[in-house]
Each structure stands twice: as structure tokens, then as C-alpha cells.
Amino acid sequence: MTDPISDMLTRIRNAQKVRKSEVLVPHSNLMYTLAKVLQTEGYVAQVNKVTNNFPMISILLKYDNNKTPAIQYITRVSKPGRRIYKKSYELPRVLSDMGIAIISTSQGIMSNKEARRRKLGGEVLCEIY
């Protein structure tokens, strides 16, 4: 697999289209931290590490009352073939700050709002609303 982050986002997108309650993705520290940011921002209900034969991340998806998913749009911005880096004042404002972008900074992975507050730039991993 050449792009595990894109694979994780696609698994989440596909699971929400068929109304699954849980998604399993292969474990790595990067993807676990990315999933924790989604949980902190309120886009997924719960994130757990699961170990059966090999380590996985269990992500419980969040839905509204009428079964509409909490994540309406999720896409990868920076790809292995073209990395996108932004300075703190250039960070994207997704849907006029109603959505988030996840940024990989020198102090870890965080949302664009947190990175802007700390005056940190970095690689724009994905956008969600």
C-alpha cells in the first residue's frame, strides 16, 4: 500500500455510505493520532486500539438522528506524488471554519484551528466537513 492515510479515509467514506457503525483500519501511530483528532473534533464517536492477529484501529462512526453521517465530505489534500505545505497564516479555512483540515506539524498532528492558534504550519493531510 503506497498511501495508508488515503486508504483510511476511503474506508471511513465507504463505511458511512453503507451505514456501518464501525470501521477497522491497520494500526500505525500516524493513523491512530489522525483518528484521535477526528474524535476530538466530534466527527467520530470513539477510537480504540484492537489486537487480534495483528494490531488494528477500531473507529466507531457517528450519525445524526435521521441517520445522516457526521462526516459529509472527507478528502486527501497532500498526496505522495504532491505534498502540500502551508505556513500558519496560509492554512485553509474549510467551509468558513465550519469544517477542519488536519495538519501534520513539527509538534504533532492537529486541526487547522489548533495549528493556527499555536502559529504552526505544516503539511495539509486532509479536509473534513
What's the confidence (pLDDT) of residue 52?
86
Residue spans per domain, the chain: 4-61, 74-128
Answer whether 120's CB lies under 8 Å from 88's CB: yes
Fold assignment, 74-128: Dna Ligase; domain 1 (3.30.1490)
Q: Is the pLDDT score of 7 beyond 90?
A: yes
Fold assignment, 4-61: Ribosomal Protein S8; Chain: A, domain 1 (3.30.1370)
- Tell me which DSSP letter residue 89 carries: G
C-alpha span between 37 and 90 (Å, rounded) = 20
What's the confidence (pLDDT) of residue 66?
81
Q: Is the pTM of this model over 0.75?
A: yes
